[in-house]
Chain A
Amino acid sequence: MNSLLTSAVAGLSAGGAYAILGVCVVFTYRLVSVVKFTATALGAIGAFVMVIMTEMGYPLLPSVLVGILVGALASTAVGLITTIWFSGSSQSIKAAVTAALLVCIIAMGQRLTGGQQPRAFPDIVGGAGIQLAGVTITAASLVAIGFAVFLTVAAEQVLNRTRMGLQLRALSERPMAAELLGIPVRRLAIGVWAASGAMTSIALMLVAPLRSPDFGSLSLLVVPAFAAALIGSFKSFRAALVGGILIGVIEGLASVFVGLNQYRAAVPFLVILVVLLWSQRGAQWDEAR
């Protein structure tokens, strides 16, 4: 029992990472209706710019800021591609575009960062964190979870309470109508892309030190991020937050059961499936009428 608690707590640090990335994915999807396969790869660009600058001897803070900026710019570039050429395209075409871009970005990222060559990711948040059930939860993990909570609350407040939020919702639900209403559609969409790029960059800087520090692995964090977002059906920030942490905890728990753990990778998948089938039980028809 105790070892169960311990491994569940041990899963928290991964859970924080999944939660923050999941919230970022929901953010983009809700506002610009694009499934961004490139989400974490773009964030990884920002994180690697940061680490390369610190390796070259620049101080931490400017490196972090430049990294966030570059992440935002990279995301904006992808955003421009999707908004200019694919604004009216179907979801599967948009998915295909970002999937193709993911292949492209990973290849370039691996080339520029030297394949599997590990990088010395600095802890951008120092300090030991707290002890829980014999496990240290690092300050970075705590900040990651805190940041995820902050993003969740902030995104909900902005979307539901402010005029800009209203415009953003109009943008995602009826882009044509929003344009007719005089909402600066393209500018808002680009803003969303930039913001999500910056947020994902921060998220990856926080989680990278405890992950496999190479470009490919960090880019593929998009899969658990999607899983977290999926628990909220790509709509609910809170569900994505809770879902991300839950997936981390489940991964931690699965490592205890020796018989199960060979198939551990399938466990989050099954959990997501069950959650989804339950939450979507009312959805009998597609949206087309």
Chain B
Amino acid sequence: MKRDSSFAALKTAALIFIAGALCLFLLSSYWIFLITAVFIIGVALQSLGLVVGRAGMISLCQMSFAGVGAWVVGYLNVIDFPGGLPVWLLIGGLAALPFGIAIGLPALRLRGINLAIVTLGFAVAFGVVLGTITYPGQTTFTMVARPSGLESDQGYFIFVLAIYGIIAVALEFITRSRLGASWLAIRHSERAAASLGVSVPKAKLSAFAISAFIAGISGGLLAGYMGTLLADNFSMMQSLVLFAVAIMVGAQFPLGAILGGVLVALFPELLRRLSLPQDLGSVFFGVGAVQALSTGETISEAFGRLGRKILPRRIRTQKRASEASLPAARVLDGDKAVLEMRDVTVRYGNVVALNRASLVVPQGTVVGLIGPNGAGKSTFVDAITGFLLSYEGKILFQGKEIDALSATQRARAGLRRTWQTTRMAPELTVGEYIRLASGGGLSDEEVDAILVWLDCPPSEQLISSVDAGARRLLDVAGAVAARPPVILLDEPAAGQSYAEAVMLGKRIAEIPERFGSSVLLIEHDMDLVRSACSQVTVLDFGAVLAAGATQEVLDMPSVKKAYMGIDFDEEAAQ
């Protein structure tokens, strides 16, 4: 993984370096000046790409963050703060950061359209307030000083390019880290992310904070570029345009950010060359954006697809990692029950979904939980893993009450689950997903070994190209990779072929021994339950019907009647 991010970072840095050198050699000072703006807007777009493209939250106030950075840089320039523009940029970015967190706080509760409008409201309010504050130094014509030695347009171009490169490279590392993967995860499903132990608030706040920091830097760069600024640079309309461009080009990709910068910064030049009025730019932008958006993929994705057609991506053949490479089981003490539910009751309004249900999962066992559709099995899992707002009764994990813990905290404590419908971020690779799910600390060999052990796709493959059945296996692999004390598997065999289900049953039965995890398996497939579980609990109409050793329970007449729909008496009569 490290190698992957280093390679990608190196590639990005090299591309930027080559592009910069070409520009410096080939272009006139005027064009250098224009292209500098491309990269400044590129920085702003990268910041937006992080929040919108990666974390999936709508931010319509990105230029407000930039405005904070710009105004701070202006002020530092006026008081002649030591360190020059590089230091000012950093301080400007840091000043924008709390604003990002402040906007991120409502994002913990608000999503989609509501968050969009809150950020829009902030952009408007901030624009008005900023409008009343004259840009520092404007009345005395103190231009923001560029870094010494880089005052010329060429020099400043190099400076902006370097900053763009640093940010692009840093983002390559961050997005491939666990933090970056957690952004993609919350974008796709907050519940699924929480079940991996990802803290949703932390992921959202960090996305907004880092994004605001980068946006603040872009504002500071703009200050050095233009020398002095106006509130119009950071108005709500500018934020709206930036948002539309970011969605259009796919600003989460370095190429997309530059393309967006080209669109914003160079289109006016095209109109100037053609002697056309500038408002046509707005019209073309609207029409072009609608056209580009209607294709369903961002411009960078379209380019990427074309690129792969020409240069197909090589997939490293998976090493047949041996079982010896599997990560060691975590040592657990004693043989007491790892998970215990005591008289748990769940109500949805007037409907009682679970009625005083109790269950024990002893150390080192696979316990089955079966019952007809609507019996309350999924509610059961939700209650244990903390995805219900409230329930009555007690849940003990390793002997401790965990009722006050959030879903994320339970997952981190070692109570992991899989989902009936998998919600993995399709942008991740299989390997990245396993790493995110494992909580870190696995070597490449260990990851490969787990994937081979469960017959999953190779680690370089993108999840978007993995079929639904294999995704379920991957979900199981992710839970296993974390080696938690308890794993709750919610119908892992659904959609699997018979042979696959048999293999899966065998693997599930091995989990306690190999990984030290106890398993609670929710399944319909009786063969799977028989082959994997040593104990079974039967749920019917929200209440526990029977519990005990697998074969004994399955042979009970009441279980057969309730679960299999077979009336024991009728069967006997035949």
Which of the candidate stretches A122-130, A159-167, A180-188, A258-266 sits at the interface with the other chain?
A258-266
Given contacts A29-B113, A277-B106, A283-B109, contact A99 B189 (CB under 8 A): no
A102 to B56, CA, bound (A): 22
Given contacts A107-B279, A227-B117, A272-B121, contact A100 B285 (CB under 8 A): yes
- Which of B52, B282, B419 has the largest count of A CB atoms less than 10 A from its CB? B282
Instruction: Tell me if A66 counts as interface (CB < 8 A to partner B).
Output: no
Residue of B nearest to A82 (CB): B290
Which of the candidate stretches A6-14, A88-96, A192-200 sits at the interface with the other chain?
A88-96
Residue of B nearest to A34 (CB): B113
B residues less than 8 Å from A223 (CB atoms): 120-121, 124, 236
Whether the Cβ atoms of B389 and A106 lie closer than 8 Å is: no
A262 to B133, CA, bound (A): 10
A277 to B128, CA, bound (A): 24
Given contacts A92-B52, A276-B118, A288-B191, contact A100 B423 (CB under 8 A): no
Instruction: Tell me if B243 counts as interface (CB < 8 A to partner A).
Output: yes
Whether the Cβ atoms of A104 and B286 lie closer than 8 Å is: yes
Whether the Cβ atoms of B283 and A107 lie closer than 8 Å is: yes
A103 to B243, CA, bound (A): 12
Contact of B282 among A95, A96, A106, A266 (CB under 8 A): A106
Whether the Cβ atoms of A266 and B113 lie closer than 8 Å is: no
Distance (whole angstroms) from the CB of A99 to the closest CB of chain B: 5
User: A residues 219-238 with Cβ under 8 Å of B?
Assistant: 223, 226-227, 229-230, 233-234
A281 to B389, CA, bound (A): 12
Instruction: Tell me if B122 counts as interface (CB < 8 A to partner A).
Output: yes
Instruction: Tell me if B223 counts as interface (CB < 8 A to partner A).
Output: no
Given contacts A93-B247, A100-B286, A104-B286, contact A288 B188 (CB under 8 A): yes
A residues less than 8 Å from B419 (CB atoms): 289
Binary interface profile of B, 242-286, with partner A (CB < 8 Å = 1, else 0)? 011001100000000000000000000000000001011111011
Whether the Cβ atoms of A35 and B116 lie closer than 8 Å is: yes
Contact of A280 among B114, B124, B281 (CB under 8 A): B114
A89 to B285, CA, bound (A): 20
Whether the Cβ atoms of B116 and A95 lie closer than 8 Å is: yes
A227 to B122, CA, bound (A): 11
Instruction: Tell me if B231 counts as interface (CB < 8 A to partner A).
Output: no
Whether the Cβ atoms of A262 and B132 lie closer than 8 Å is: yes
Contact of B283 among A104, A230, A282 (CB under 8 A): A104
Whether the Cβ atoms of A234 and B114 lie closer than 8 Å is: yes
Whether the Cβ atoms of B236 and A96 lie closer than 8 Å is: no
Distance (whole angstroms) from the CB of A259 to the closest CB of chain B: 14
Interface extent on A, as a size class?
35 or more
A107 to B389, CA, bound (A): 48
A residues less than 8 Å from B117 (CB atoms): 35, 226-227, 229-230
A residues less than 8 Å from B194 (CB atoms): 285
Instruction: Tell me if A137 counts as interface (CB < 8 A to partner B).
Output: no
A residues less than 8 Å from B287 (CB atoms): 104
Instruction: Tell me if A97 counts as interface (CB < 8 A to partner B).
Output: yes
B residues less than 8 Å from A281 (CB atoms): 109
Whether the Cβ atoms of A266 and B114 lie closer than 8 Å is: no
B residues less than 8 Å from A81 (CB atoms): 290
Binary interface profile of A, 151-174, with partner B (CB < 8 Å = 1, else 0)? 000000000000000000000000
User: A residues 111-154 with Cβ under 8 Å of B?
Assistant: 111
Distance (whole angstroms) from the CB of A38 to the closest CB of chain B: 10
Residue of A nearest to B236 (CB): A223
A residues less than 8 Å from B125 (CB atoms): 263, 265-266, 268-269
Residue of B nearest to A216 (CB): B237
- Which of A99, A102, A229 has the largest count of B CB atoms less than 10 A from its CB? A99
Whether the Cβ atoms of A100 and B58 lie closer than 8 Å is: no
- Which of A37, A103, A282 has the largest count of B CB atoms less than 10 A from its CB? A103
Given contacts A92-B58, A104-B286, contact A282 B118 (CB under 8 A): no
Distance (whole angstroms) from the CB of B133 to the closest CB of chain A: 10
Instruction: Tell me if B241 counts as interface (CB < 8 A to partner A).
Output: yes
Whether the Cβ atoms of B289 and A97 lie closer than 8 Å is: yes
A102 to B277, CA, bound (A): 18
Whether the Cβ atoms of B113 and A280 lie closer than 8 Å is: no
A residues less than 8 Å from B280 (CB atoms): 107
Instruction: Tell me if B110 counts as interface (CB < 8 A to partner A).
Output: yes
Contact of A100 among B279, B289, B387, B421 (CB under 8 A): B289
B residues less than 8 Å from A273 (CB atoms): 106, 118, 121
Contact of B290 among A97, A111, A287 (CB under 8 A): A97
Given contacts A106-B282, A227-B117, A262-B132, contact A99 B290 (CB under 8 A): no
Residue of B nearest to A37 (CB): B240
Interface residues of A (CB under 8 A from B): 29, 35, 37, 81, 85-86, 89, 91-93, 95-97, 99-108, 110-111, 223, 226-227, 229-230, 233-234, 262-263, 265-266, 268-269, 272-273, 276-277, 280-289
Sample of 14 A–B contacts (CB below 8 Å) = A35-B117, A89-B296, A92-B247, A95-B113, A96-B244, A99-B241, A100-B289, A107-B282, A111-B277, A226-B117, A262-B129, A276-B106, A285-B190, A288-B189
- Nearest 10 pairs of A and B residues by beta carbon: A104-B286, A107-B282, A100-B289, A265-B128, A96-B247, A266-B125, A85-B294, A288-B189, A269-B121, A100-B244
In addition to A91-B58, A289-B419, 15 A-B residue pairs with Cβ atoms within 8 Å of each other are: A92-B56, A92-B247, A96-B243, A96-B247, A96-B289, A99-B243, A100-B244, A100-B286, A101-B286, A106-B282, A110-B279, A223-B120, A223-B121, A285-B191, A288-B192
